Amino acid sequence: MTKKSRCPIIGRKQYFKKELKGGIFMWDPLSEFSHAIFPNGLELHSAYWPNRPWQMVFLVVHSGSDADPFGAEGTAHFVEHLISESSGFNRKEIEKKFDYFGGSVNLGRTSYAATIYSFFGPTNQKFMIDSFNLFGRMIFENALDADLESNRQIVLAEFDRYFSMEHKYHLALLERQSLYPEYFRSRSVSPLGLRESVKEINKEKLKDFYDRNYVPKNISIVSTGGLKIYELMDLLFRSNLAQEKSGNRNLLPVALEEFKKPKENFHLFSLSKYYESAEESLTNSGGYRSVARFPGKTKRWSVYFLKEMIGKLLHQEVREKKSWTYSMSARNYYLSDVQELVVECPALSLNAIDEIETTVIRCFNQIQNNTDLFEQMKKKVLQKLKLIDISGVDLCEQAADHMAATGKIPTYHEWEREISSVNLKELSELACWVVPEMRWTLVIKP
């Protein structure tokens, strides 16, 4: 190891095995990550898996669509597209290189919090240095000189992919603007940004975003595999990822503590009125979607259990008892400033349109006194933690996603403590955020 690579390695409390009842041990692979900070500000988080011939590497740029300039929503995602097509880089040739070694490469995905690149391949020293150099040139030395208009059309095509019909884009924007009036989350429909602003983003905006955000202090490398952290450090120091480039870490949005009522809390949408030119009905079913918001510092696992319980109760009520739909889902989303709970049914019987919201309200009200269901859900989640059996590649992706969303990598034992501390009273205290006037609810009819 070279002298300059001797920056401090910060270990973590190791929980590799925790004895459970009957001599069974709980494995906590997330606790195996150690990290180091390079002189240029780059962070490395690495978990060593002995005797593996492979290495998985994620490069987390801590700037996603939340960092988009106002009026240029979609910039982070647009830059991600240009990175692998500029400065003489060719996406197909890059993919071919990794294929040759039996590996793989992902040339970018953009979330609200970050833009993430990754590669997988052998621990061979030359392969690793060449791969680090490749990403170093793409991330730190890029001219962003790819054809702007052809890439713009590709980005706009992604909107068509995710919003296959015009009304879906219209409703997604209405939802964001109703939930977050006068707040930056009202300005885009997803990490893609806004279709209208993507059409207007120019080269100067893209280059300015790249120069400010693609800097060492704003990047974390997360890795698992057969290389020890000091071996990875040595390889990184011998690559151009160790180069100096001025800039700072992009901070996560500050957690919101309260919300005003949505600008609109109920929206009845008629497909036939929106598409007046349609000669026949576009669907023979209705739809339902409702979004609740929670302050950013709300216990993440409390929102998770609320999601699990409402999902279970709605399944029993809407599918098993009334046969209104095949499936009604509940999902929770964690952002640093806000958490969301989404209840959704894309295909709902027309007989249910007038009753579905009343049913959802009733199911939410049942949660507060449903001790048996809560204890059942809690026990299930705690038991699943004891049965962790994850691949190194999946572990690395999970760690990278947490690094992107929260700026740190948790451990399963931390989760265990957090889950154990959640109680039904805490879920009851979240009731004020799921009442009808605090949710945005959409009902779709033909």
Which tens digit of pLDDT belongs to each residue from 56-86?
Answer: 999 999 999 999 999 999 999 999 999 999 9
Q: For the stretch 136-162, what's the b/e string if a residue is b when 16 or more beta carbons lie within 10 angstroms of its beta carbon? A: bbbbbebebebeeeebbeebeebbeee
CATH architecture entry for 38-242: 2-Layer Sandwich (3.30)
pTM strictly above 0.75: yes
Distances from the Cα of 161 to the Cαs of 90, 117, 166, 169, 401, in angstroms?
24, 22, 11, 11, 24
Tell me what pLDDT residue 226 has.
Answer: 98
pLDDT band for 5, please (50, 70, 90 cuts). Answer: very low
Q: Are 134 and 127 spatial neighbours (Cβ–Cβ below 8 Å)?
A: no
Which tens digit of pLDDT belongs to each residue from 149-171?
Answer: 999 999 999 999 999 888 999 99
Tell me what pLDDT residue 15 has.
Answer: 46
Among residues 439, 412, 405, 425, which one has the least CA distance to residue 115? 405
Structure tokens at 207: 């280059």
Sequence ranges of the domains in the chain: 38-242, 266-445
- DSSP secondary structure string, 381-439? HHHHHTT----HHHHHHHHHHHHHHHSS---HHHHHHHHHH--HHHHHHGGGGTSGGGS
pLDDT band for 8, please (50, 70, 90 cuts). Answer: low
Q: Are 334 and 404 spatial neighbours (Cβ–Cβ below 8 Å)?
A: no
Q: What is the mean pLDDT of residues 180-207?
A: 95
CATH 3.30.830.10 fits domain 266-445: yes
| Strands laid side by side in the 266-270 sheet | 266-270, 440-445, 286-295, 338-348, 329-334
Q: Which amino acid is at 433?
A: W
Among residues 124, 55, 11, 92, which one has the least CA distance to residue 411? 11
Q: Are 116 and 59 spatial neighbours (Cβ–Cβ below 8 Å)?
A: yes
Handedness of CA 254, 258, 262, 263 (dihedral sign): negative
Inform me whether the pLDDT recorded for 355 exceeds 50: yes
Tell me what pLDDT residue 164 has.
Answer: 87
Inform me whether the pLDDT recorded for 237 exceeds 90: yes
pLDDT band for 11, please (50, 70, 90 cuts). Answer: low
Per CATH, 38-242 and 266-445 having the same topology is answered yes
Structure tokens at 79: 């830059």
